[in-house]
């Protein structure tokens, strides 16, 4: 074969181009292309007498001799790299490939063996002495980098036992995050604050590991509440159970629960545990669940407050006023106006699974939930679909009471519930005494109609022509409640 050195270096150059430009883009196809190039290089070397297992010929021509030596050493290194890639691509599981630990360690061993073989066969150096020298050097390096070696071997254990993998949400000791990378030295976590935390493998192998991604699609969340020990445990647990019922985002299986966790000198700790199907929901559901616990405990006369401070006495009259102040529709009212309106509230009790409002009806009263859980469902061609759950401090029927708008949803009780209601006649009397409140309520109702109009019938387009939503609603309120034009 003419010019074997030129042909050999041409094949090596072509392999470097394929490697650097990642051509073709598919990993498996690119591997077979590189294996074919390696086979072609092997054929060129062996057919021309440039055996990688002996020194290169042309000893009389130094330039040709050393070029042949270099090409034979490249053959060993190229073979080591392709052997590592073949194991990585064809044999290792995809999870191990992403973690890179086994491929990196195996690649290092193979390259070390290829280097020793090249020194022994191609350069004909005394390998025994080299191995002995490298052994002593390895001992020195091992003592110098023993912490790094500890991370490497711990990484091997973690990859073998697989307590977590890339993409899992884990908690290592007290740190929670998503595993974004696993390598021979450390595990990289993306925390909830958007920071990257690097945990050495030696630390992770000795820590308590909570894998929130196993089993899949079930992620637990826990809230711990400290309650005054004077509160009856059954009252607290019932209220927390209603809070769990009022959250329709959590999973039914595994079943959520509330329990008394422990007692201290000043309080009793209660734990609320629930589960969601997506890790990204945990933060929002935790906040919503805490708000529900607060409202249901308040409805049961159990307040979250600074422990050790005596709770103020609350009368029934004060309770009505506090309930009204929690309704956004009455946020703009003064204390005197709230007190006058609270006297007009009437108390109603309902059993579980009792329908309070049928679809396409105009409510003749405003209902404010004092305790219990209500379900809001919408009828579709495929069947009824629950769109929300209503709990203490929430109200419905304001659009019908103020402007005569029908609701196209059905509202029924999920648990035994207590509601306070304000009738249309009482609202008319109140608005006539305080006509300026009508405008304030219409402003809020117009905002809610635009933002949360799913609970009421949409405003007909022909009614809105030339008028804002607020003006149209205000005209409806004045007509429905017989208010004067100058109000």
Per DSSP (E only), the strands in 10-159 are none
Residue 139: its pLDDT value, please? 64
Q: Do 44 and 7 meet the contact criterion of CB atoms below 8 Å apart?
A: yes
Task: Quickly tell me which residue has 């809105």 as its tokens.
Answer: 464
Q: Is 225 inside a domain boundary?
A: yes
Query: What is the Cα–Cα distance from 190 to 180, expressed in whole angstroms?
Result: 7
Do 125 and 237 belong to one domain? no
Domain of 44, in residue numbers: 4-144
Do 363 and 435 belong to one domain? yes
Q: Is 310 inside a domain boundary?
A: no
Q: Do 57 and 49 meet the contact criterion of CB atoms below 8 Å apart?
A: yes
Residue 199: its pLDDT value, please? 92
Q: Is 152 inside a domain boundary?
A: no
Domain boundary among 241, 271, 299: 299
Residue 137: its pLDDT value, please? 62
Which residues are bridge partners to 378 per DSSP? 385
3-class SS of residue 234 = helix
Per DSSP (E only), the strands in 338-409 are 346-350, 355-357, 365-371, 374-380, 383-390, 395-396
Residue 185: its pLDDT value, please? 83
CATH number at residue 176: 2.30.30.60
Do 332 and 467 belong to one domain? yes
Q: How far is CA 266 from the centre of its chain?
A: 35
Q: Is 157 inside a domain boundary?
A: no
Residue 59: its pLDDT value, please? 66
- Walking along the chain (487 residues) 10 residues at a time, the average pLDDT comes out as 84 92 89 93 89 82 87 92 87 66 77 86 74 61 66 81 87 88 87 88 90 82 90 94 94 93 88 90 92 92 68 62 83 84 92 92 89 91 88 85 82 94 86 75 67 48 54 74 62
Q: Is 33 inside a domain boundary?
A: yes
- What is the per-residue burial (b if ≥16 Cβ within 10 Å, else e) of 40-67? bbbebbeebebbbeeebebeeeeeeeeb
Element (H, E) at 421: strand 417-423
Phi (first) and psi of residue 262, to 5 degrees? -165, 165
Do 198 and 224 belong to one domain? no
3-class SS of residue 262 = strand
Do 476 and 437 belong to one domain? yes
Domain boundary among 144, 174, 197: 144
CATH number at residue 364: 2.60.120.10
Do 171 and 123 belong to one domain? no
Residue 474: its pLDDT value, please? 74
Residue 308: its pLDDT value, please? 57
Do 104 and 30 belong to one domain? yes
Query: What is the Cα–Cα distance from 183 to 188, expressed in whole angstroms?
Result: 9
Do 202 and 234 belong to one domain? no
Domain boundary among 299, 327, 358: 299
Phi-psi region of 420 (alpha: psi -120 to 50; beta: other; left: phi over 0): beta
Query: What is the number of structural domains in the chain?
Result: 4
The answer to whether the predicted template modeling score (pTM) of the entire model surpasses 0.75 is no
Do 389 and 411 belong to one domain? yes
CATH number at residue 264: 3.30.70.100
**Strands ordered across the beta sheet of 268-276:** 219-227, 268-276, 257-263
Do 326 and 428 belong to one domain? yes
Do 333 and 425 belong to one domain? yes
Do 351 and 457 belong to one domain? yes
């Amino acid at each position: 074969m003419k010019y074997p050195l030129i042909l050999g270096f041409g094949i090596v150059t072509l392999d470097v181009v394929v490697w650097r430009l990642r051509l073709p883009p598919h990993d498996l196809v690119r591997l077979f292309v590189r294996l074919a190039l390696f086979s072609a290089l092997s054929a060129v070397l062996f057919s021309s007498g440039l055996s990688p297992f002996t020194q290169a010929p042309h000893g009389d021509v130094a330039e040709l001799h050393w070029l042949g030596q270099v090409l034979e050493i490249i053959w060993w290194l190229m073979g080591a790299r392709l052997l590592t890639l073949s194991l990585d691509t064809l044999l290792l599981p995809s999870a191990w490939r992403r973690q890179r630990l086994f491929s990196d360690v195996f690649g290092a061993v193979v390259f070390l063996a290829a280097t020793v073989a090249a020194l022994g066969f191609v350069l004909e150096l005394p390998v025994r002495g080299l191995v002995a020298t490298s052994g002593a050097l390895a001992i020195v390096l091992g003592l110098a980098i023993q912490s790094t070696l500890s991370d490497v071997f711990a990484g091997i254990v973690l990859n073998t036992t697989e307590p977590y993998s890339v993409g899992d949400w884990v908690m290592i000791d007290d740190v929670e995050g998503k595993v974004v990378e696993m390598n021979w030295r450390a595990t990289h976590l993306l925390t909830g604050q958007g920071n990257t935390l690097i945990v050495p493998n030696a630390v992770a192998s000795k820590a308590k590991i909570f894998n929130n991604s196993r089993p899949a699609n079930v992620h637990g969340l826990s809230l711990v509440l400290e309650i005054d020990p004077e509160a009856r445990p059954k009252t607290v647990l019932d209220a927390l159970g209603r809070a769990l019922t009022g959250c329709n985002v959590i999973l039914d299986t595994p079943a959520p629960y509330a329990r008394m966790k422990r007692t201290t000198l000043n309080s009793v700790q209660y734990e609320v545990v629930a589960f969601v199907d997506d890790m990204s929901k945990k933060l929002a559901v935790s906040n919503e669940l805490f708000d529900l616990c607060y409202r249901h405990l308040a409805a049961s006369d159990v307040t979250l407050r600074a422990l050790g401070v005596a709770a103020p006495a609350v009368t029934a009259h004060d309770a009505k006023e506090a309930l009204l102040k929690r309704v956004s529709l009455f946020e703009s009212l003064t204390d005197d106006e709230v007190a006058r309106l609270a006297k007009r509230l009437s108390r109603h009790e309902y059993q579980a699974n009792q329908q309070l409002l049928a679809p396409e009806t105009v409510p003749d009263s405003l209902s404010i939930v004092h305790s219990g859980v209500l379900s809001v469902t919408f009828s579709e061609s495929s069947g009824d679909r629950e769109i929300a759950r209503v709990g203490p401090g929430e109200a419905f029927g304001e659009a019908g009471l103020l402007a005569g708008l029908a609701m196209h949803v059905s509202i029924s009780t999920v648990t035994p519930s207590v509601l306070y209601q304000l009738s249309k006649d009482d609202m008319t009397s109140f608005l006539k005494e305080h006509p300026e409140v009508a405008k304030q309520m219409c402003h809020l109702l117009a905002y809610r109609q635009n933002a949360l109009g799913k609970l009421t019938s949409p405003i007909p387009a022909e009614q809105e022509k030339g008028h804002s939503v607020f003006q149209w609603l205000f005209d409806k309120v004045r007509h429905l409640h017989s208010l004067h034009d100058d109000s």
